[in-house]
């Protein structure tokens, strides 16, 4: 049994406790995870003993190449996806159908409900996502490749950084560097935030702020590989290092290092967040760290597990998470340091290698 088939088997086994005959998978990343299909506009219907892929004629050859052996229903040009679902569910005698509650919108749910009058629609959550949280060797290697693309692109950006460039111009250049280095795209629109704008955790690069208008710039970026993603953040010093900057930077770096040192199997994700948060609180910046410590990484830039205060998820080998503490001071700026970390059987491995000591981030 190949790895893709094993994934479907895992999801099928999990359905037994939910008392459903079948489950409809419509999330694009989940469909890809369970089939290997790289296209869109397709749905997977899985039962206790079958998996049927619903698509259209545009993808017939692609399906043969990417999903050999998978049972396929190709809908006609005039057949809508909901029509195909109704047809296949009827052929299979489905009486209770699980749906991805966090994916299907209300309009699609109501349409499906009105068409499947004798079928109970059962909202389910996390069935595929819980499996995706544990990466196999090939997935880990794909994430490492995406990290490599991101690190090479960052090297190009750093060596070519110019004071007269704007935030947006720098972000645009970084996206080009990512593709030049092998990525299919950025894993999200890069964040380039100069000085006080770095106090915005999700700042949008502007055309009005130049790199040389402050002493530091925050760079948050990642690469989409094949097709797994990476996610990194560094702050570059482009001017002078003030005592305040040094204090904030060293606090964030210590918080990250403490959190990473605590990562190992069996530890609740909330405890990792607490390690970093305690360092920042002890330094007097607790109220300026107002987001979770990190998140899972894989086919999507944000996925399970979440490293945050209220999380009761237990870390397991194969999980890949970001660790990204930050301090954001309105009117002054923000410092965030982010790396991608693999939970190993005996601890963890930091997969990203961009230097982050205070001396190493000076470019001026």
Domain boundary pick from 132, 155, 185: 132
Tally of domains in the chain: 2
Q: What is the pTM of this model?
A: 0.95
Does an H or E element contain 335, and which? strand 333-336
Checking if the pLDDT of 83 tops 70, the result is yes
pLDDT in tens, 310-331: 998 999 999 999 999 999 999 9
Do 195 and 53 share a structural domain?
no
pLDDT in tens, 85-136: 999 999 999 999 999 999 999 999 999 999 999 999 999 988 999 999 999 9
Does an H or E element contain 307, and which? strand 303-307
Torsion of CA 206, 210, 211, 216, to 10 degrees: -80
CATH number of the domain that residue 229 is part of: 3.90.230.10
Give the pLDDT of residue 14: 85
Do 332 and 194 share a structural domain?
yes
CATH number of the domain that residue 14 is part of: 3.40.350.10
pLDDT in tens, 136-171: 999 999 999 999 999 999 999 999 999 999 999 999
Do 333 and 203 share a structural domain?
yes
pLDDT in tens, 15-45: 887 889 999 999 999 999 999 999 988 999 9
| Domain containing residue 317 | 137-361
Give the pLDDT of residue 17: 79
Do 302 and 266 share a structural domain?
yes
pLDDT in tens, 55-65: 999 999 999 99
Do 299 and 180 share a structural domain?
yes
Do 234 and 343 share a structural domain?
yes
CA–chain centroid gap for 1, Å, is: 28
Do 93 and 223 share a structural domain?
no
Do 305 and 230 share a structural domain?
yes
Do 126 and 33 share a structural domain?
yes
User: Would you put residue 292 in left (φ > 0), alpha (ψ -120 to 50) or beta?
Assistant: beta
Do 103 and 154 share a structural domain?
no
Do 118 and 222 share a structural domain?
no
Concatenated DSSP letters of 239-255: S---HHHHHHHHHHHHH
Do 252 and 200 share a structural domain?
yes
């Amino acid at each position: 049994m190949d790895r893709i088939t094993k994934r479907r088997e895992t999801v099928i086994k999990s359905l037994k406790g939910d008392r459903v005959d079948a489950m409809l998978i419509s999330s694009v990343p989940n469909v890809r995870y369970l089939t290997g299909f790289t296209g869109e506009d397709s749905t997977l219907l899985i039962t206790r003993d079958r998996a049927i892929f619903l698509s259209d004629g545009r993808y017939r050859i692609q399906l043969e190449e990417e999903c050999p052996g998978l049972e396929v229903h190709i809908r006609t040009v005039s057949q809508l996806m909901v029509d195909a679902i109704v047809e296949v569910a009827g052929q299979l005698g489905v009486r209770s159908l699980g749906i991805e509650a966090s994916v299907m919108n209300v309009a699609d749910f109501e349409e499906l409900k009105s068409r499947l009058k004798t079928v109970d629609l059962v909202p389910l959550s996390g069935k595929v996502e819980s499996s995706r949280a544990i990466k196999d060797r090939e997935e880990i290697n794909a994430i490492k490749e995406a990290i490599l693309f991101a690190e090479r692109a960052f090297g190009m950006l750093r060596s070519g950084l110019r004071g007269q460039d704007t935030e947006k111009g720098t972000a645009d250049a970084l996206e080009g560097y990512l593709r030049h280095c092998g990525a299919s795209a950025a894993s999200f629109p890069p964040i380039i935030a100069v000085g006080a704008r770095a106090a915005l955790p999700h700042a949008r690069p502007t055309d009005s702020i130049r790199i040389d208008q402050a002493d530091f710039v925050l760079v948050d970026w990642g690469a989409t590989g094949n097709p797994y993603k990476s996610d990194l953040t560094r702050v570059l010093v482009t001017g002078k290092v003030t005592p305040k900057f040094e204090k904030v930077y060293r606090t964030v770096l210590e918080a990250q290092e403490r959190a990473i040192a605590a990562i190992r199997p069996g530890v609740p994700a909330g405890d990792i967040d607490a390690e970093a948060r305690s360092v920042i609180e002890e330094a007097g910046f607790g109220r300026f760290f107002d987001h979770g410590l990190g998140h899972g990484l894989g086919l999507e830039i944000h996925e399970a597990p979440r490293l945050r205060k209220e999380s009761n998820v237990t870390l397991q080998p194969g999980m890949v998470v970001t660790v990204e503490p930050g301090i954001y001071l309105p009117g002054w700026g923000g410092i965030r340091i982010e790396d991608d970390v693999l939970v190993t059987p005996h601890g963890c491995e930091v997969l990203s290698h961009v230097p982050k000591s205070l001396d190493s981030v000076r470019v001026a």
